[in-house]
């Protein structure tokens, strides 16, 4: 009985983890992260494919300058498939394991804080070599863009300047108001003291 109950609990935990795996964390928004390879002679000599690219499915023949989706969670890898073999129509981890492969040298960015201007990420990769253990892939650079397609580095820099300038102006305004308030308070005190001295002189006279 305890074993059955334990099995049911384990299945419920597994189902819950899978069901919630794609849920965006609170305070975050989803972004589209894609990969693209630079042109190289190795890509013309060898057939490199990415799989899986759509959940547990999806096979993409990697071509230079053509972005494609990937997933760290579902374990996307790069496989060297001989050109004389038929191209697989779908992903099967067991049959794919016979080919030389490697993992992407970067983790997928699937979500960012909702305050971030980032809407999409593109990472450029380079196929450096083919070794006995598999392909060697390196990251060239990554770029983030907002919903308008503008590089976030530029818009973020401008946004920070605007925010920084606003903060400085507000701070200067508050300093001016505080100085004016203190001046009025001390002026009122001085006037009060003068009035008291006048009254005292009058009483003395």
The answer to whether residue 21 is domain-embedded is: no
| Beta carbons within 8 Å of 77's beta carbon, 6+ residues apart | 50, 51, 96, 101, 102, 103, 104
Structural domain includes residue 123: yes
Q: Tens digits of per-residue pLDDT, 1-59? A: 455 555 544 444 444 444 444 678 899 999 999 999 999 999 888 999 999 999 899 99
**Interatomic CA distance for residues 17 and 11, integer angstroms:** 10
Q: How many domains does the chain have?
A: 2
Contact 152, 145 (CB under 8 A): yes
Domain that holds residue 161: 153-205
Q: Which residues contact 140 (CB under 8 A, 6 or more apart)?
A: 38, 124, 125, 126
Segment 56-109, tens digit of pLDDT: 999 999 999 999 999 999 999 999 998 888 888 899 988 999 999 999 999 999
Calpha distance 149→120 (Å, rounded): 8
- Same domain? For 45 and 145 the reply is yes
Looking at 109, 126, 150, the residue that finishes a domain is 150
Single residue among 120, 150, 180 that ends a domain in this structure: 150
181-193 pLDDT, tens digit each: 666 666 666 556 5
- Same domain? 63 vs 159: no
Query: Which of 150, 171, 186 is the last residue in one of the domains?
Result: 150
Contact between 91 and 56 (Cβ < 8 Å): yes
204 shares its domain with 166: yes
Burial of 62 (0-12, 13-18, 19+ CB in 10 A): buried
Cα–Cα nearest to 32, from 116, 111, 106: 111
107/73 same-domain check:
yes
**pTM, 2 dp:** 0.65
DSSP state of 70: -
Burial of 97-119, coded b for 16+ CB within 10 Å and e otherwise, reads eebbbbebebebbbbbeeeeebb
Length of the chain: 205
Structure confidence by residue, pLDDT tens digits, 156-168: 444 454 455 566 6
pLDDT of residue 3: 56
pLDDT on residue 178: 73
């Amino acid at each position: 009985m305890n074993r059955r109950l334990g099995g049911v609990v384990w299945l419920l935990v597994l189902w819950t983890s899978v069901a919630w795996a794609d849920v965006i964390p609170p305070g975050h928004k989803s972004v589209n992260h894609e990969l693209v390879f630079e042109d190289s002679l190795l890509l013309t000599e060898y057939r490199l494919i990415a799989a899986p690219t759509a959940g547990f499915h999806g096979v993409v023949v990697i071509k230079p300058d053509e972005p494609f989706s990937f997933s760290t969670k579902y374990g996307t890898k790069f496989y060297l498939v001989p050109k004389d073999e038929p191209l697989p129509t779908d992903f099967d981890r067991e049959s794919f394991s016979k080919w030389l492969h490697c993992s992407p040298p970067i983790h997928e960015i699937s979500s960012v804080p909702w305050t971030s201007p980032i809407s999409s990420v593109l990472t450029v990769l380079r196929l450096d070599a083919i070794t006995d253990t598999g392909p060697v892939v390196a990251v060239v650079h990554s770029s983030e863009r907002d919903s308008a397609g503008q590089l976030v580095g530029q818009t973020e820099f401008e946004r920070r300047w605007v925010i920084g300038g606003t903060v400085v102006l507000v701070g200067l305004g508050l300093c001016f108001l505080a100085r004016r308030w203190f001046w009025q308070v001390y002026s009122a005190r001085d006037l009060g003291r003068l009035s008291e001295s006048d009254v005292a002189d009058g009483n003395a006279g």
